[in-house]
Structure 1
Amino acid sequence: MNLWNYIDGRVGFLSFLTYQHASLAFQTVLVGTVVALIVAVLVYRLPLGSALTLTTSRVALTIPSLALLALLIVPFGLGVVPSFIMLAFFAALPVIGNAIVGLRSVPPSVIESARGIGLSRWKTLVSVELPIAWPVILTGIRVSTQMIVGVAAIVAYVLGPGLGSLIFNGLSRLGGANALEMALTGTILIVLIALVFDALLALLGRVTISKGLS
């Protein structure tokens, strides 16, 4: 009951924080996805380049997000900029791996057929290879989105936007009035954002993935 009373009395404030969190996650995943696709397109035809990129992206995922965030404070200060850069960096990593794997898994016979009917290398990539690789790429985007929605909470440490401030303020005041409600509310809203994003991406997959590939 206390949790409901806390939420009911702060709907506008909580809605604003939820919007900030969802917007930050969406924008960073979008930027990370674009960067990841560019990198994947540049290296997937190069065995050594794609292997090094895959290994690097997997190793980079082990970098502690708080450590990277702290390093970014030095050149960029506090606030949105270091938060955005850190999240976009981590958002790109799962997508890079899946994009390279997806593009390399396109059967060579399909590519040869496309080139045989007169398609250029670029048109073959856009109209044949990327659509075939899209289910694998989308899986990477879904993984990235779920990860970023959760990781975005820690940007509160550098005064970044979103629901993290609610969680950390609550945890720092445990035992005080509404402290537990603050932390629980922030956590629940982050989970809801993740579920909504995943549902939207699943719907995107149903709309964009050919039935023959699903």
Structure 2
Amino acid sequence: MMEFFATHGNELIIKTSEHLYISVAAILLGVLVAIPLGVLLSRAPNFADRFISFIGILQTIPSLAILAFFIPILGVGKLPAIIALFFYSLLPILRNTYIGIRDVNPGVVEAGKGMGMSALQSIIKVEFPMALPVIMAGVRLSTVYLIGWATLAAFIGGGGLGDFIFDGLNLYEPSLIIAGTVPATILALIADRLLAYLENRLTPEGLKDSYETV
């Protein structure tokens, strides 16, 4: 073990940083796109069901195929990896945002309107805070998945911990495979716990008894 760290310690730090960068960039793009889109879809439920089903069909495409698809368009490296992972982040966040906003108690929304709230104020001050636990569940799920899938970025030269895994498979060295797998798993667990803490902090006090934070 000590010999491995002496040989690959610096590289492990670099690859872990690359892995984290790719994952965080993809999930941030997913949040910036999927949450506003989910809110908009909650205003058009008939179209929303068909659109979310279409996104779900796209996500059945193998991740390696998506990565390969972007090579002729964006070349190789971190950018196509981030864009491909961004597509995979959309469905859980989009679906949970739509469901969370849709299922807000209509009586609470009507009460807000009765107080003179505009549609935008209702979303910001009433609907979004009440839907936050459901939305965050989608963000947590996407984040955990993306950190695992980010190992595939090595397939197109995107770097990250996947480099260790691919090198280990090519050279038949289990230590390299472990060096890529274990840190990715740890990153996913840490990210899930941090997002759970953030969810708990952001959820209005009155709703915490209604949702179980895992």
Q: Normalising TM by the smaller chain, what interval?
A: over 0.9
Residue 211 of structure 2: aligned partner: none
The one-letter amino acid paired with 2:204 is: S
The Cα offsets for residues 62-121 of structure 1, whole Å up to 9 and x where unpaired, read as: 111111111111111111121111011111221000000000001111111101101111
Equivalent in 173, 187, 204 of residue 198 of structure 2: 204
The CA deviation at 1:47 is: 1.9
- TM-score (structure 2 length as normaliser): 0.93
Aligned length: 208
Aligned equivalents of 1:152 and 1:116: distance in 2? 47
Aligned equivalents of 2:54 and 2:171: distance in 1? 40
Unaligned stretches of 5+ residues in structure 1: none
Residue 91 of structure 2: aligned partner: 93
Residue 20 of structure 2: aligned partner: 22
Equivalent in 168, 175, 193 of residue 187 of structure 2: 193
Unaligned stretches of 5+ residues in structure 2: 209-214
The one-letter amino acid paired with 1:181 is: S
Equivalent in 104, 110, 122 of residue 112 of structure 1: 110
Residue 62 of structure 2: aligned partner: 64
Structure 1 residue matching 2:207: 3-state secondary structure: coil
Aligned identity (percent) is 34
Higher mean C-alpha deviation, range 76-85 or range 54-63: 54-63
Q: Superposed, which structure 2 residues align to 1:21-60 within 5 Å?
A: 21-60=19-58
The CA deviation at 1:45 is: 1.5
Aligned equivalents of 2:163 and 2:80: distance in 1? 16
The one-letter amino acid paired with 1:58 is: G
The CA deviation at 1:27 is: 1.4
Aligned equivalents of 1:57 and 1:72: distance in 2? 18
